[in-house]
């Protein structure tokens, strides 16, 4: 595997999911010995940072972390006359950083104002174009493949055959990316599963991501007999990056969960309790098992990238 | 030892102090091999961060560091409707973080405005309640046990029998926690020592911490014939978290030190020179030996936690 | 080698340059095993941070990083009454930090307002005075020796004998330190090379640094038949720390490079494209090879410091 930025980079999705479950709980300190993983964060991260770092350590790799949060402005426009705020062109920064490492992991978020730039993955593509080593996405403008691989492994791990999976929008006070849900839908097309997507009007996702799912505005219809409830907020695509008023009643509660087939509640975390879902739903969910699986997903992916 | 948050967590205080001195200057890279220490800082740290990291490295552990300084707001109220600033509930954050590590070390400071919350150790207790692995306090609202263990080891290391220890308040331009002095008093009760506590009126400590000490407002009386002068500023407990005007003459100087029995001056650092104590006092003190012992205290504690 | 803060610390410059090229591409994980490198950044860093960290990892060292960026104020004045913003005196902070490590690496920048303090290297000297272990400069107020060693190795690596090296000032929208160019001139005196320095009037460097170079205000004369063009902006020394108006035409472009002897363009990065030099010049330069050599320079220096 030459890079890991979307499901399209994975030669065999089923095999990779199997890998995750096979290596779960193991370490192989010889595998990545004397190799370096550099993680570059354009946006903050808790779970992704810690689970990927742990995965690299499990493989014996050295880890370097760089937070570009404050003050480090990169130019992304080719040919720019750089007399403004940006100190360095991304092509130069990435060429150099990638010369110091074996795998370059990058997290960036969408602008949520410029749909074209976001859905073109302008920043991620600029990184890939300049990197001399495999690029590992720690979430990009429109996808979060490490999360999705984790989610797939968690679903397969349950042993439920041909599950019904209800992906449901839920309320949130902020404007969030569509990356997690986009990516989940893309990956779940590779499962032997019946995938439903439900959200209020105005929260339609970009068409290419929803082609394998049954879409409905009726949340209860989607939840009916579901084996998994995959809950996530996202901002509007059509009113790009915006939060539409209303729909607070889309919060997932015990009543709604009772319509499912003892459905397992999943969420990528962090979750706003009693806004996205009630305490009772989260406390009886599998979100912690899911989060713990992040390590093994990252570890399986790092192994594939190091093999390349 | 299942956790290390106060002296009450330590089965045998004398043994632990002996451990610190026994392992001083040694490494045991096999002991913690392939284990991870995660350090979570709600407040900045220099000595604690570096000495604990070094201790973990000495044991062959991997170390992950997370600074929650900017922008990462956690909800601590159970049952909260999370539609405000907090992105994540502490119970979720800690459950997940602790699933990625073997020991979870946490630093937090008091509010210095809400005495009840501080002295109930609300934040630390929330961390402990959700952690799946042993919790190591890197200073909490009311205690700093790694500092105190270091202090005890430094005193025992001196070989002075039945020492007189004078714990003295000193001036400072800022409002500081009571954690270091609280903790020192709690731990020193386990030494075969004569412990005096001196401070200006209005700086009385919480009663449970002072029961083994002789308390006086007369600084010179406390210093008289002291073998150790443990100097520290703290804010008022009765006027909670406040700095009372005056008492600049409580600075420790050579004149005052001359009343001691060639007393060794100790301070946890950082110290405001020529405010808390004069240059001359600090320059002839044992504060650097004391600070260097931080590594061995942390290393002894990590060993106990890994054994658990 | 007891410290590495300028070329004057190096017993044999040619040997050290040879070392860099000899160890290029190699690791020696036993060499620094169980040793710690602590990197203290008073100013942000990308290349220096990552390349030095990688160098230390190549030698099997543990690396601790401390960013003093926000909020950590150190007093540098001896005898100061510390009732202001500074929480700790640099002498105390460095004594303690150096007791936790085997090599202490420090980055600081000039004030660019107080020439005397900068050119006296007040901060660096204070660090050296208090450190118990060898000090490695990651750039100081007036020098950047790791960059210069890299530059020398990159020039020697080219195999060009008795090269003409043109060091040229270039425009920049900000006021930058003189450290890189000062240091380059100091080090290049040890090469068998013909070193030219060119800059607009008003950008004269401090005399001791330029004694081995031919200085001219005529950029084209300096570039004529040059084998290497070392390009860098710096602020004025005589109008200390200031940016003088004009001289935008000092940008290096293909036309100017055509006057050289197929000259190789070098820059320490980050570089402002189309301000300092054009895209075409940078894209056909050796700046990435140069940046990649940072690892081997740091690795060679760490070996010498560990031997001490």
Complete DSSP assignment for A33-51: TT-EEEEEESS--SHHHHH
Q: Which CATH architecture has domain C159-285?
A: 3-Layer(aba) Sandwich (3.40)
A-facing residues of B in 85-104 (CB < 8 A) are 87-89, 92-93, 95-97, 99-101
Whether A92 sits inside 8 A of C282 (CB atoms) is yes
Q: Is the pLDDT of residue C72 over 80?
A: no
Tell me the CATH number of domain A146-291, given options 3.40.50.300, 3.40.50.1370, 3.40.50.720, 3.90.1150.10: 3.40.50.1370
Q: Is the dihedral of CA B21, B25, B28, B29 positive or negative?
A: positive
Whether C54 sits inside 8 A of A64 (CB atoms) is yes
Q: Is the pLDDT of residue C176 over 80?
A: yes
Coil/strand/helix, residue B196: strand
- Judge whether C69 and C84 are in contact, CB under 8 Å: no
Whether C295 sits inside 8 A of A100 (CB atoms) is yes
Nearest CA to A173 among A252, A254, A256, A235? A235
Q: Is the dihedral of CA A233, A239, A245, A250 positive or negative?
A: negative
Give the list of residues 6+ apart from residue A143 with CB closer than 8 angstroms, or none.
A5, A6, A121, A137, A179, A182, A183, A186
Smallest CA–CA distance, residue A259 to chain B, in Å, is 24
Indicate the residue of A46, A273, A288 with minimum beta-carbon distance to B99: A288
Asked if C47 is an interface residue toward chain A (Cβ–Cβ < 8 A), one would say: yes
Asked if B243 is an interface residue toward chain C (Cβ–Cβ < 8 A), one would say: no
Smallest CA–CA distance, residue C73 to chain B, in Å, is 11
Q: Is the pLDDT of residue A308 over 90?
A: no
Output the pTM of the full model: 0.96
Residues B292, C145: Cα–Cα separation, whole Å: 30
Q: Is the pLDDT of residue B45 over 90?
A: no
Q: How confident is the model at residue B71 (pLDDT cuts 50, 70, 90)?
A: low
Q: Is the pLDDT of residue B46 over 90?
A: no
Q: Is the pLDDT of residue C70 over 60?
A: no
The domain segmentation of chain C, as residue ranges, is: 7-143+294-307, 159-285
Q: What share of chain C is helix, strand, coil (3-state, %, to 5)?
A: 35, 15, 45
pLDDT digits (tens, 9 = 90+) for A242-269: 999 999 999 999 999 999 999 999 999 9
Residues C294, B34: Cα–Cα separation, whole Å: 30
- Judge whether A120 and A97 are in contact, CB under 8 Å: no
To which H or E segment does residue C146 belong? helix C145-157
Indicate the residue of B38, B81, B100 with minimum beta-carbon distance to A275: B81
The answer, yes or no, to whether ipTM is higher than 0.90 is yes
- Judge whether C145 and C109 are in contact, CB under 8 Å: no
Residues B264, A217: Cα–Cα separation, whole Å: 74
Q: What is the CATH number of domain B7-143+294-307?
A: 3.40.50.1370
pLDDT digits (tens, 9 = 90+) for A53-104: 999 999 999 999 988 765 678 999 999 999 999 999 999 999 999 999 999 9
Nearest CA to C187 among C156, C162, C151? C151
Q: Is the dihedral of CA A129, A132, A133, A137 positive or negative?
A: negative
| Arithmetic mean of pLDDT, C285-308 | 97
Whether C47 sits inside 8 A of A101 (CB atoms) is no
Residues A188, A206: Cα–Cα separation, whole Å: 16
What is each CA distance from B102 to A67, A95, A296, B36, C242, in whole angstroms? 25, 36, 16, 5, 52
Establish whether domains C7-143+294-307 and C159-285 are of one fold.
Answer: yes
pLDDT digits (tens, 9 = 90+) for C178-236: 999 999 999 999 999 999 999 999 999 999 999 999 999 999 999 999 999 999 999 99
pLDDT digits (tens, 9 = 90+) for C240-278: 999 999 999 999 999 999 999 999 999 999 999 999 999
Dihedral pair phi/psi, residue A98, rounded to 5°: -70, -15
Q: Cα C222–C227–C229 angle (5° rounding)?
A: 55
Contacts of C69 in chain A (CB under 8 A): 70
Indicate the residue of C81, C95, C97 with minimum beta-carbon distance to B274: C81
């Amino acid at each position: 595997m030459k890079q890991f930025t979307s499901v399209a980079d994975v030669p065999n999705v089923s095999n990779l999911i199997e890998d995750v479950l096979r290596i779960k709980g193991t370490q192989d300190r010889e595998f990545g010995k004397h190799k370096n993983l550099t993680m570059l964060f354009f946006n903050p991260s808790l779970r992704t940072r810690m689970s990927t770092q742990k995965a690299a350590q499990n493989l014996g790799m050295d880890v370097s972390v760089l937070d570009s949060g404050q003050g480090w402005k990169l130019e992304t426009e080719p040919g720019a006359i750089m007399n403004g705020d940006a100190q360095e062109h991304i092509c130069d920064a990435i060429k150099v950083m990638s010369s110091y490492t074996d795998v370059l992991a990058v997290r960036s978020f969408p602008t949520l104002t410029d749909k074209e730039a976001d859905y073109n993955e302008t920043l991620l593509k600029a990184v890939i174009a300049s990197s001399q080593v495999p690029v590992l996405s720690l979430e990009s403008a429109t996808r979060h493949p490490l999360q999705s691989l984790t989610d797939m492994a968690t679903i397969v791990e349950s042993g439920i055959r041909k599950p019904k999976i209800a992906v449901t929008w839920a309320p949130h006070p902020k404007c969030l990316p569509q990356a997690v849900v986009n990516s989940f839908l893309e990956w779940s097309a590779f499962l032997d599963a019946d995938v439903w997507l439900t959200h209020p009007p105005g929260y339609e996702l970009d068409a290419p991501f929803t082609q394998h799912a049954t879409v409905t505005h009726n949340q209860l219809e989607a939840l009916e007999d579901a084996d998994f409830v995959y809950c996530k907020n996202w901002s509007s695509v059509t009113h790009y990056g915006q939060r539409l008023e209303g729909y607070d009643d889309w919060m997932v509660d015990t009543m709604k969960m009772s319509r499912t087939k003892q459905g397992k509640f999943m969420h990528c975390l962090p979750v706003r309790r009693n806004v996205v879902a009630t305490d009772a739903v989260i406390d009886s969910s599998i979100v912690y098992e899911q989060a713990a699986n992040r390590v093994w997903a990252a570890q399986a992916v790092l192994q594939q990238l190091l093999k390349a």
